[in-house]
A and B are shown apart, each in its own frame.
Chain A
Amino acid sequence: MSIGLHKSEFKNPVIRWVDSRLPLFTMMQKEYGTFPTPRNFNYFWNFGALAMVSLMIMILTGVFLSMNYTAHTGYAFDSVERIMRDVNYGWLLRYVHANGASMFFIVVYIHIWRGMYYGSYKAPRELLWMLGVVIFLLMMATAFMGYVLPWGQMSFWGATVITNLFSAFPVVGSHIVTWLWGGFSVDNPTLNRFFSLHYLLPFVIAGVVFLHIAALHITGSNNPLGIDPKGPQDTIPFHPYYTSKDSVGLVVYFIVFAILVFFMPNYLGHPDNYIPANPMVTPTHIVPEWYFLPYYAILRAVPDKLGGVLLMFGSIALLFVLPWLDGSPVRSMRFRPLARIAFALFTLNFFVLLYVGGKPAEEPYVTISRFATAYYFAYFLVILPLLARLERPLPLPESIARAVLGRGGGPIPMAAAAKPMEKA
């Protein structure tokens, strides 16, 4: 790019003045207006935008909640209830924030599921995928610390259990835990630093989201067929086609969100968190929030503490290397008859883990969680690498346009508009 004013194409003199000095408008027009996007997205492609909306809702409600919250073990619980009772629409802010976390995870889980089914992690989108995993990890840390802030029984004991995981590491373990706590038990210093980090991390997430989107706009989006657009007939401008399609998904998202907030605001929470934290009384059954349950099940699946901790971290670390575990050049599982079955089982298995994670550590849940954990790891480490060698994919369509327009919007005619698979 040459030095000098940008040659803006905007007619409005004010916009033109700004745009020629800082081409924000040109950039938005390029990235969100005319941005060429595959014409065949299904509604699963709404979830990236929905995740973005979730993040903005969380940051906005969070900023206002923090204006009324007191990060002190003696006041935290009461300050949250004061928000519920005495702050104007404080109950709305808090319930939107609490259920917003659940909505964020629902949306992101579906977003990840879509990426795994349609092979969005494969070349050239590996880095885009890895940035997404970073966002997911940051979300988990942020959500965990947020759940501690109301200082109820589950806040306190959840924090105790999860921070204690680090004590499993030999030699340095107990030092790490003391360092995390800022003392010798979960106490006021812990609450203070968790509040600080809970406020900080969402902005780190926003930064990584920016990189995630920047990387997306380099490679362009994947699509349900998993084949690259071959020309202008395969793409449509983002606006108005996908802005209008995302709007439909957004309204449905808000309806689900509203039902949670207004009619069942505590359904996804745990009643024990309305009991103020008490270090002297352990709840009979400590469970994390629902979105951590699959990983909690993996943690508890082996009778060894360090083993469980390593498995749990490993289960997420695997996502980072997924692009290299799955060597099949075919992205979309529509054309992978065996991988498709394995992934359907993986999905089911994820729900099994979620279910047993919420159950006490007793039979039959322990045995189930072991089988489910075994399948979780087998899917990444055995099934995908093997299928990449053994599976015979179905023939891929020639182009997106042929596949979509071939039979007027009906099911994709896989056999009709197809040519033999080429091994990349």
Chain B
Amino acid sequence: MRMLKSLVLLGAMAIAPAAYAAGEEIHLPETRFSSDGIFGTFDRASVQRGFQVYREVCSNCHSMRLLSYRNLSEIGLTEEQIRAVAADVQVQDGPNDEGQMFERPGRPSDRFRRPFANDAAARTANNGALPPDFSVIAKAREGGPHYIQALLTGYEDPPAGFTLGDGMNYNRYFPGHQIAMAAPLNPDQVEYADHTPATVEQMSRDVALFLHWAAEPELEQRRQMGIKIVLFLGVLGVLAYGVKRRIWADLH
């Protein structure tokens, strides 16, 4: 703890720039998402495809512990579809009347099932690296969905002279460029129901948008409310200014 403490202080206050390694700026490629801009919304087809990618690929290692299956109704899944998705996993419940824990099929009210029982198990299965939880990942990374898409498409061979750690992979957009996760997406890894070609580019876009929705499920409602409120305030502002001018007229 003492060493940790001094490390913190070094990082935060010391004049020596030692603690701030890898200070190079990484520029994300230009991408457009349906959720960009003040009128942006979540393209339902893309978010649903993204959920499919998460479910079939990412969820093998990454949890989304803050989401429940019922939340999927917000991206357009029907009641039956949600039931089917939930029933696809076994969750532990209990204790029952005999005091035993038991397994049962998932229900819409269950949280997304976690791939590992705990962090230690997750590390053990992943070469010592902890796959981060995805519930708010789009809010927890600079650039949000843009960063996620860049990361997923940013795998390449390390430049000459770059030494990778054991079991690490080179990624152009990851801070420090060494990432424990191997390139997770391969062409045609999932089969989209709407026959969209499952290129790495397409899958990464879809899953990035899905993760953006997962992090900010209120985004559409928030922006719609915001537009109404700003318009209302604009009118109110003109009125308030008019009233003020009228009241002050006799002073000048």
Contacts and interface: CB of A to CB of B under 8 A. Distances in A.
Q: Do A and B bind each other?
A: yes
Interface of A: 39, 78, 81-82, 84-85, 91-92, 95, 157, 160-161, 164, 184-185, 236, 240-241, 244-245, 247-248, 250-252, 254-255, 258-259, 261-263, 265-266, 271-272, 274-275, 279-280, 282, 284-286, 299-300, 303, 305, 308, 360-363, 366, 405, 408-409
Interface of B: 1, 4-5, 7-9, 11-17, 19-23, 38, 66, 71, 132, 135-136, 139-142, 175, 215, 217-218, 222-223, 225-227, 229-230, 233-234, 236-237, 240-241, 243-244, 247-248, 251-252
14 contacts: A91-B222, A240-B247, A241-B248, A244-B248, A258-B230, A259-B226, A274-B140, A274-B215, A282-B4, A305-B9, A308-B13, A360-B20, A361-B12, A362-B17
Contacts of B23: 360, 362
Nearest to A276: B133
B247 to A, nearest CB: 5
* Most chain B Cβ neighbours within 10 Å, of A84, A161, A184, A262: A262
A361 B17 contact: yes
Contacts of B244: 244-245, 247-248
A366 B20 CA distance: 14
Sorted nearest first, the 8 A-B pairs with minimum C-beta distance are: A262-B226, A362-B17, A274-B140, A251-B237, A360-B20, A244-B244, A91-B218, A274-B139
Given A241-B251, A263-B226, A274-B136, A248 B241 contact: yes
A251 B15 contact: no
B21 A284 contact: yes
B1 A263 contact: no
A241 B247 contact: yes
B13 A161 contact: yes
Main secondary structure of the interface of B (DSSP, over half): helix
A393 B247 CA distance: 35
A285 B20 CA distance: 7
A284 B13 contact: no
Given A161-B8, A279-B4, A244 B230 contact: no
A333 to B, nearest CB: 25
A111 to B, nearest CB: 20
A160 B8 contact: yes
A236 B226 contact: no
A41 to B, nearest CB: 11
B225 A262 contact: yes
Contact of B8 (A95, A164, A251): A164
Contact of A39 (B1, B17, B142, B251): B251
B111 to A, nearest CB: 10
* Most chain B Cβ neighbours within 10 Å, of A157, A252, A274: A274
A262 B8 CA distance: 34
Contacts of A157: 8, 12
Contact of A78 (B7, B17, B66, B142): B66
Given A262-B223, A271-B142, A282-B8, A244 B237 contact: no
A184 B2 CA distance: 10
Contacts of A405: 252
Contact of A81 (B5, B7, B136, B141): B136
A262 B247 CA distance: 33
A421 B96 CA distance: 89
Contacts of A160: 5, 8
Contact of A282 (B11, B230, B233, B251): B11
B32 to A, nearest CB: 18
B141 A271 contact: yes
Contacts of A84: 218
A259 B230 contact: yes
A250 B135 CA distance: 37
Nearest to A78: B66
A97 to B, nearest CB: 15
A251 B237 CA distance: 6
A326 B223 CA distance: 48
A225 to B, nearest CB: 16
A300 B15 contact: yes
Contacts of A241: 247-248, 251
Nearest to A365: B17
Given A245-B248, A255-B233, 13 more contacts: A85-B71, A85-B217, A241-B251, A244-B244, A250-B240, A251-B233, A262-B223, A265-B222, A284-B19, A303-B15, A305-B13, A308-B13, A362-B23
Contacts of B66: 78, 81-82, 85
B240 A244 contact: yes
A303 B244 CA distance: 53
A75 B216 CA distance: 20
* Most chain A Cβ neighbours within 10 Å, of B14, B16, B139, B227: B139
B22 to A, nearest CB: 7
Nearest to B1: A185
Given A81-B135, A160-B5, A258 B15 contact: no
